[in-house]
Amino acid sequence: MRTTITLDDHLLREAKMVAASSGKTLSEVVEDSLRESLARRNASTPRRRVKLHTFKGDGVMPGVDLNNSAALLDILEEGVDVNRRR
C-alpha cells in the first residue's frame, strides 16, 4: 500500500543510511522498524506482583459509597463532608 508520512529530517537521513548499508529500500527499512516496534509493544511482559499496604481502621467512612464514582470524586477533589447526608 502506498501512503505518505512525515519524518524528522535526522531520522530520515539515518533510515536512508541504514537502507544503503544493508542493501534494502527505504520502504523495507521503515517497514522492518515499524514491525519491530509494534511487536515489542504487543509482547506480553511478565507482571510483577504488587503488594498492597493496608491500614487499621473500621472500613469505609460513613457516607462514602464506593459504587458512586461521581460522589467519590466530589469527596476527593472538593473535600465534601462525608458525614453529611445526601
pLDDT digits (tens, 9 = 90+) for 19-28: 999 999 999 9
Residues with Cβ within 8 Å of 18's Cβ and at least 6 positions away in sequence, in order, are 24, 29
Residues with Cβ within 8 Å of 22's Cβ and at least 6 positions away in sequence, in order, are 29
Domain ranges of the chain: 9-42
Q: What is the pTM of this model?
A: 0.49
pLDDT of residue 82: 54
| 74-83 exposure pattern, b = at least 16 Cβ within 10 A, e = fewer | ebeeeebeee
Mean predicted confidence (pLDDT) in 2-14: 94
Mean predicted confidence (pLDDT) in 69-77: 84
Nearest to 63 by CA among 54, 55, 72: 72
